[in-house]
Chains A and B, each alone.
Chain A
């Protein structure tokens, strides 16, 4: 099982292709972890997107390929490896939020 820290939503794959999606959020950033169906069950894996939320109150977000974490969809083949990544990513999102707030705001 994936860790539950910062987990804000568990839902069926919204694309309708089956499987389960987990949404994690730390401040304005987060990530989605999707485990979809595979004809060969041993090939089941996690597809992870770094995301940036567009609303404070809802689970609306956009895929974000402009952080240092990832410029593409990431793949993880075990829960253990993804959990390790999640822990590091949560720290990164905290720091990113702090750094962004230090930047001068565009008028």
Chain B
């Protein structure tokens, strides 16, 4: 354990085999304003996997502690986190014993006021869901990376993002990365938004496993000499807990444990505040990511609305339609929570057809769009193509769905 002095552990970097003059990587970095990092610093193009993009994001994120339990396809990223720990870019890192323990431990770390990161995939996320559900109410700005994978029986390790639907109503901030570039940018933006005093919520950045994590793509990255500002645990909606002198009762609101009208009312208002904080985070993502959505071909008569890898496949379909002389619009949704209702409504004025391709059986994004656009648009919103269980979505599948849709709704 590098450079840690404590009652039980008093090992130094030298004990861990480092040279006497070793300086942790994070101490050689310079703190920069987030807007400087996101929009002004020069960037170098690298061709790297999503897992490596996550590593470079973590390197610049000024992370105090990372805790995770390995699961495919997340393991590669957290192996990379291990290298960062060895280089001194992450101050503390350990492998927990399973996901409930992982997500409970990371919650404790975050309550102590330090920047805390964890990562998981499909079944691991499901196992730790009870602990995850407690994060927003505890106002713990944890950053979680989620590499989506099939959760259902029969067992499979292939990409499928049904697990994201389980997080929609937890009160967490949710982002969906399309590619390796997003998996570099989004965690940094999510960290800064989640730690704002009027937000103070956990944030999860999901991406589709293997398609992004285990494949290379072009990524523009900022110089490694620069890092985000550290977390200020006292500047948050709920102040950090002094874990050296913990309170007698961990619950912040003891009366809420009772079963009476007052406790119900308190719980209700607490939940309202959590979900209001999700909405308040939108203004930060507008600044950091340049908007909650990306619109291609604004003003088109028909649109594809998608998130994650489905955007990449739709992007190519839109390009091929353009070669054939047809203009198809595309809306990429970056933030699933906060859901960009106003931006989408503005972008689809006058649109006749909206196609929603997804990598899951339930079609959660289609359902979400139908719910939020009810009464706000006259467009027909059609789900499809939908693939799941690790199936792929060739561009032709999107093109065929568009052609069928045009026949159904001329």
Contacts of A2 in B (CB 8 A): 47
Instruction: Judge whether B393 is part of the interface by a CB distance below 8 angstroms.
Output: yes
**Complex contact A18–B323 (CB within 8 A):** no
Binary per-residue interface labels of chain B (194-216) against chain A in the complex, 1 for a CB within 8 Å, 0 otherwise: 00000000000000101111111
For the complex, give the distance between the alpha carbons of A58 and B396 in Å. 16
8 A-B pairs besides A38-B215, A41-B49 with CB distance below 8 A are A1-B47, A16-B313, A16-B392, A20-B215, A37-B211, A37-B213, A41-B214, A44-B214
The interface residues of chain B lying within 8 Å CB-to-CB of A37 are 210-211, 213-215
Binds B, one of A6-14, A64-72, A97-105: A6-14
Once A12-B179, A14-B394, A41-B49 are accepted as A-B contacts, the answer to whether A19 and B215 lie under 8 Å apart by CB is: yes
Contact B316 A19 (CB under 8 A): no
* Chain B facing A: main interface SS: mixed
Q: Are A20 and B395 in contact (CB under 8 A)?
A: no
Contact across chains for B217 and A11 when beta carbons are under 8 A apart: no
CB of B309 within 8 A of CB of A14, answer no
Closest chain-B Cβ to A4's Cβ sits at a distance in Å of 10
Alpha-carbon gap, A2 to B394, bound state (A): 24
Alpha-carbon separation in the docked complex, A79 to B312 (Å): 23
B76: Cβ under 8 A from any A Cβ: yes
**Residues of A contacting B392 with CB < 8 Å?**
15-18
Q: Chain A nearest CB: distance from B236 CB in Å? A: 37
- CA A16 – CA B76 in complex, angstroms? 22
- In B377-395, the 8 Å CB interface with A consists of 387, 392-395
Counted as pairs of residues, one from A and one from B, with CB atoms less than 8 Å apart, the total is 79
* A14-B323 contact given A20-B217, A20-B218, A35-B216, CB 8 Å threshold: no
**Are A16 and B393 interface neighbours, CB within 8 A?**
yes
Ordered by A's residue number, 29 sampled pairs between the chains whose C-beta atoms are within 8 Å are: A1-B45, A2-B47, A11-B319, A12-B313, A12-B315, A14-B394, A15-B392, A16-B387, A16-B394, A16-B395, A16-B397, A17-B211, A18-B211, A18-B215, A18-B309, A18-B392, A19-B211, A19-B216, A19-B217, A20-B47, A20-B217, A35-B216, A37-B210, A39-B210, A41-B49, A41-B214, A44-B214, A59-B323, A60-B323
How many B residues touch the partner, as a band?
20 to 34
Give CA–CA (A15, B309) in the complex, Å.
Answer: 12
Nearest first, the 5 closest Cβ-Cβ pairs linking A and B are A18-B211, A16-B392, A12-B312, A37-B215, A19-B215
A58 to B217, alpha carbons, bound, how many Å? 23
Query: Whole-angstrom distance from the CB of A48 to the nearest CB of chain B?
Result: 15
Is there contact, CB below 8 Å, between A44 and B394?
no
Would you list which residues of chain B between 299 and 324 have a CB under 8 Å from chain A? 309, 312-313, 315-316, 319, 323
A39 CA / B208 CA spacing, docked (Å): 14
- Closest chain-A Cβ to B318's Cβ sits at a distance in Å of 11
Q: State A36–B323 Cα separation when bound (angstroms).
A: 25
Q: 1/0 per residue A57-88: CB within 8 Å of B?
A: 11110000000000000000001000000000
